[in-house]
Chain A
């Protein structure tokens, strides 16, 4: 942990200050805090209501107990209300100073004695008797000028909060019935709620003060933790922002732990790698194309410039003109192949797939390269059943075979042989073209389908190759969903396979 204050995190986005564009760490902090706030609110509410209920239940039990002690003399029903009133008045307004006398006077009344004795120990309770219309008949002296409220709409024994003077009381209202079941009056007993209210109010106060504090602390903490956790992301962003086409070799340092961030960084790095490769290939292609096109142009231009500086022999002119024509032909072939590749890359070239007799097209190509093969003394043998058919574009297939075959002739030694064999097994037709040439080193096999790639890096035009042929083969094969593979052994020969 360092002491860097969290407000100095780099690259904080403040450009768009609308709240839904807040930074990730603020968002995390906000979500987390909101969720926790709701949770705390629920817990507090649950606690509050539980305490509330416990407190009331306690008070209500006390009230019930008081009522039960008062009622046994005149049972709740079947007695005249006035009789009960007399008894009650006697009981409740019994002054403590007359206690001894009263005790003797009512020795038979054991329960009354206990009741009054207990009264001294507990909080004062208020007792009141009301008639059926709710009017006060008698009340305990401690009520002074105050009265307990009768709520006649309540039926049966009910507990509720009420007020006596300025203080809140918990009150029980017991209806009294005569023998015929009609309400003759109400017994009201109440106890002050002081302690209970203090407990509940304290609870509420604690909650009201603690809740915002907890939420605020939580938000600050979460924000700081979130900021710390996403700091590696900020680094990733900073590095990625510095990347440009010219600085694609940069990589984001990998984090120490193999977590999600590690995977993110590794993925981004891999993407940069692929981009760099693509840019490099494009750059190489442009450089190669410009080299390949400019060289013949430079030869023709330079040769002619030197030629016209002085008058020369006729043979000299002819030789130079032939040289220029040769170079122009080379340039022409190159342009044609480049256009072919360009057309493929802009996807304007659509193969006309039809059912072809493969042997016929292979023989066409063999006829075309026969003269150059014969010039090197190379024998070509074709093994292909007449009835083998494939689904492909006739022109494209011939071009592919011709490119491979002329390559084979080019890199074959004089007097060797080239074999073209077509085999059918099930649905797949395989056409293999094998030479006994110089072969391709294994480490260079993967690159031979690249544009302008030549195994011999000298780029001398002594072989006459342009480095585009195999690249075209690959493109055409991809267009027609033909698989091209190559196997080679140095100084033993190379075999190309086309699988239809």
Chain B
């Protein structure tokens, strides 16, 4: 899952990036509204964390312009403005959620999960065949057995399972699982897919990740025996 942080305060941007990356998110950082808007319009993000008072273009303006451009990406406002009027104003500008500084990092994670929760699921768990993924705890189970995955493997698996039954092109996988500083050498995906398949097969989850030659990969529910 890839997140864009638009925040001018280096202290806050710093710990957000660090903390979120440790939660297996791919994180991009923009220090002003203009660059943030450019990033958001040219890249695929799963979530935006936007500070209200930022140089060049205010967070509100970034939000409005994104919505005007037709983007539906969840936006989470993060600001020291704390009156009811401010909250209402922010949400009305197109934000999905609002957090007042100072905030609890755990709460921020929970709110991010809420925004990423798919509409037709009753809980945060992601499922495919025997496989169950808990995005909150970064645990992957095959039946009752827990799998041990590296952060990148987890992020790749999570992205594929979230987009179950849909083709994930190599470029989209790169965009959502790796951050912007990654060179567009997509062969790294094949390497991670190989690792993942090996671990899943060892746990008894076979025939989950399928290759669409020349395009990318897809996770399909295995046909019932």
Across the interface, which residues of B come within 8 angstroms of A456, CB to CB? 55
CB distance from A428 to the nearest CB of B (A): 41
In the docked arrangement, what's the CA distance between A296 and B8, Å? 13
Kindly specify which of B96-104, B176-184, B204-212 makes contact with the partner chain. B96-104
Residue of B nearest to A294 (CB): B80
Across the interface, which residues of B come within 8 angstroms of A302, CB to CB? 11-12, 15-16, 19, 102-103, 105
The answer to whether the Cβ of B56 comes within 8 Å of any Cβ in the partner chain is: yes
CB distance from A30 to the nearest CB of B (A): 49
Residue of A nearest to B81 (CB): A287
Across the interface, which residues of A come within 8 angstroms of B81, CB to CB? 287, 290-291
CB distance from A221 to the nearest CB of B (A): 52
In the docked arrangement, what's the CA distance between A305 and B16, Å? 10
A298 touches B103 (CB 8 A): yes
Across the interface, which residues of A come within 8 angstroms of B38, CB to CB? none
Kindly specify which of A32-40, A91-99, A212-220, A457-465 makes contact with the partner chain. A457-465
In the docked arrangement, what's the CA distance between A303 and B18, Å? 9
In the docked arrangement, what's the CA distance between A88 and B47, Å? 137
In the docked arrangement, what's the CA distance between A459 and B55, Å? 7
B53 touches A459 (CB 8 A): yes
CB distance from A326 to the nearest CB of B (A): 8
The answer to whether the Cβ of A323 comes within 8 Å of any Cβ in the partner chain is: yes
With contact pairs A306-B22, A310-B22 given, residues A298 and B56 touching in the complex (Cβ less than 8 Å):
no
In the docked arrangement, what's the CA distance between A290 and B100, Å? 11
CB distance from B25 to the nearest CB of A (A): 13
A299 touches B19 (CB 8 A): no
In the docked arrangement, what's the CA distance between A456 and B54, Å? 11
Contact mask for chain A residues 440-484; partner B; CB cutoff 8 A; 1 contact, 0 none: 000000000000000011111100000000000000000000000
Contact mask for chain B residues 116-151; partner A; CB cutoff 8 A; 1 contact, 0 none: 000000000000000000000000000000000000
Q: Which of A278-293 contact B (CB under 8 A)?
A: 287, 290-291
B22 touches A309 (CB 8 A): yes
Contact of B11 among A299, A458, A459 (CB under 8 A): A299
Residue of B nearest to A458 (CB): B55
Contact mask for chain B residues 5-16; partner A; CB cutoff 8 A; 1 contact, 0 none: 000111110111
Across the interface, which residues of A come within 8 angstroms of B104, CB to CB? 301, 305
The answer to whether the Cβ of B28 comes within 8 Å of any Cβ in the partner chain is: no
The answer to whether the Cβ of A327 comes within 8 Å of any Cβ in the partner chain is: yes
B11 touches A290 (CB 8 A): no
The answer to whether the Cβ of B158 comes within 8 Å of any Cβ in the partner chain is: no
The answer to whether the Cβ of A396 comes within 8 Å of any Cβ in the partner chain is: no
Across the interface, which residues of A come within 8 angstroms of B82, CB to CB? 290, 294
Across the interface, which residues of A come within 8 angstroms of B55, CB to CB? 456-460
In the docked arrangement, what's the CA distance between A323 and B13, Å? 13
Contact mask for chain B residues 75-110; partner A; CB cutoff 8 A; 1 contact, 0 none: 000001110000000000000000011111110000
Task: Tell me the A residues contacting B by CB distance below 8 Å.
Answer: 287, 290-291, 294-303, 305-306, 309-310, 323, 327, 456-461
9 intermolecular pairs with C-beta atoms under 8 Å apart: A294-B101, A297-B102, A298-B102, A299-B12, A302-B102, A309-B22, A310-B22, A458-B54, A459-B55
